[in-house]
Amino acid sequence: MSTNIREKLSDNVYFNEINVDRFKTMRLTAIAMLPLEKETASDFALLTQVLTRSCEEYPDFTALSKKLSSLYGASLSAGVRKAGETLALTFSIAGIDDRYAFDGDVVSKELSELLLKVIFEPKLMDGVFDSEEVEQERRQLIDLADSEFNDKRVYANSRLIGIMCENEAFGIKRYGSREDILKSTPKSLKKAWERMLKGASFEVFYVGGATAESAKEIFKEKFAEIDRAPEKLHTEIIREATEVKRVEESMDVAQAKVLMGFRTNCCKDDEGVFAMRLMNVILGSGTRSKFFLNIREKQSLCYYCFSRYNRFKGILTVESGVENSNAQRTVDAVLHELEEVKKGNFTDEDVRLAKLSVASDFVSITDTVTGNEEWFVSQLTDPEFLSLEETTAKLNAVTKEEIIEAANKLTLDTVYILTGKEEFDAD
């Protein structure tokens, strides 16, 4: 069984220990949260990659990789994600639990120390990051930015958010733009690193069987040396759409991608957030949803059609892939299903089963190492973390009326359709 302990190490720095002994591996993750801004997103994204490429002690990536491989193939990874208009810089190390090492090797302590080293003791040259290493990572980040276009589903989703949130920080991509990536310098990265240590809010998560005491102590020591001044984190919530934006683009694709974005007038800090989560399940998430049963199974319009609720930003997005000629029909079908939920055309049994399915998914995620961490990461920037039981209880308390109310808060903001060229021209 697991025990969760949350301890404050410094100003806006928390260490979360999730003690579980049923896994064969451990994982330590540090998340630094900063405001999502156009000017700095690329610097921060690039910073995470440069930091986990080497450090003072293992000064190039082959040396660091070899160290990881000698630690039973431990993995060190980093990335950025958006939690509303907060940019979360993530640094993780994962490796085997000491009980499974050969000949009494002790691995976990070294892993914790290694993560600390990459975050706090980077390899610097003349007081800034090594320009060759920055160039290597810049090239890769540009590839990442460019390759978003490769996958048409990812691309279409990114276009939807870009159009819908054009004038909001949320419209900024997690790694900024290609132009901004080109502007980063060893010096601007050094500045970003210092800003992160001083101004970010930190959540550290440890999942494993052994005690996290030593990892916690080093984090504490490191932060004690820093003059902390945590920055304010805020997400702008647009409550209602005033008009529907509609953008159609064409490309040489086999299938049209239909995307829709709604304002939900309900975000994580609002009362109705649990009702909105269940509304999303009934409308468009899973094999019992209205989208699956009607748009896919009854009308055979698509293979996939689902909705996703972003409680950080208070928006709900819908994605589907259909024949070019069925694009408008799909938009209408989605609006029709939403109308059904708004009118309350679903049963108490639907509500009960939606709750059952969500509760079951919750329990299942605690059976994976990353799931234990993800449970809390999904609550980043919340004033307090809820346990699985607390969240389940809140979901179970939601009534059918509250779900109808949630559906009625939705307003359509943006429709984005990516169609294949030929049919598009013929239309």
Partner 1 sequence: MQIKEYESSKLNEKYYEIEHSSGLRIFVLPKEGYRSTYAIIGTPFGSINTEFDLKDGKVRVPDGIAHYLEHKLFESEDGDAFAKYAETGANANAYTSFDKTCYLFNCTEQFEKSLSILLELVTNPYFTEETVAKEQGIIGQEIKMYEDSPEWRVLFNLLGAMYHNHPVKVDIAGSIESIAEITPESLYTCYNSYYNLHNMALSVVGNVKVEEVLEICDKYLKEQEKAEVESLFPTEPYEIKEAYTEQIFPVAVPIFNLGFKLKAERLHTEEELANLDILLFMLASSTSPMYRELMDNGLINSTFSYEMFEGSGYSAILFSGESRDPEKVAETVKAYFDKVKAEGLDEKDFADAKKATYGDALGSLNSVETIANMLEDFYFSKRKVFDYYDAITNATLEKAMNILNEIDTANSSLSVVKGE
Residues in the site for partner 1, rule: CB under 8 A?
Answer: 1, 20-25, 61-62, 65-66, 68-74, 94-96, 99-100, 102, 136, 139-140, 143-144, 146-153, 251-255, 287-288, 292, 296-297, 300-304, 321-323, 353, 356-357, 359-361, 363-364, 366-369
Q: Which amino acid is at 73?
A: G
Rounded Cα distance, 302 and 77, in Å: 36
Residues 6 or more apart whose CB falls under 8 angstroms from that of 115 comprise 28, 30, 76, 91, 92, 93, 215
User: If DSSP codes are grouped into helix, strand and coil, which group holds residue 170?
Assistant: helix
Q: Closest CB to partner 1 among 178 and 234?
A: 178
Rounded Cα distance, 376 and 379, in Å: 5
Q: Closest CB to partner 1 among 229 and 363?
A: 363
Q: Closest CB to partner 1 among 7 and 148?
A: 148
Residues 6 or more apart whose CB falls under 8 angstroms from that of 277 comprise 309, 311, 358, 395
275 in Cβ contact with 398 (< 8 Å): yes
Q: Are strands 201-208 and 13-19 parallel, antiparallel or unpaired?
A: parallel
Strand residues in 97-228 grouped as ranges (E): 124-125, 128-129, 201-208
Count of alpha carbons within 13 angstroms of residue 21, beta-carbon side = 4
Rounded Cα distance, 163 and 157, in Å: 10
Q: CB of residue 261 vs partner 1: minimum separation in angstroms?
A: 21
209 in Cβ contact with 19 (< 8 Å): yes
- Tell me the two tokens of residue 381: 């920037």
381 in Cβ contact with 83 (< 8 Å): yes
Q: Closest CB to partner 1 among 124 and 304?
A: 304
- Angle (CA) 32 276 172, round 5°: 40
Q: Closest CB to partner 1 among 74 and 83?
A: 74
User: If DSSP codes are grouped into helix, strand and coil, which group holds residue 202?
Assistant: strand
- Looking up tokens 């009118």 gives 343
Q: CB of residue 322 vs partner 1: minimum separation in angstroms?
A: 6
Q: Which amino acid is at 266?
A: C
9 in Cβ contact with 206 (< 8 Å): no
Rounded Cα distance, 235 and 312, in Å: 8
Identify the H or E element spanning 175: none
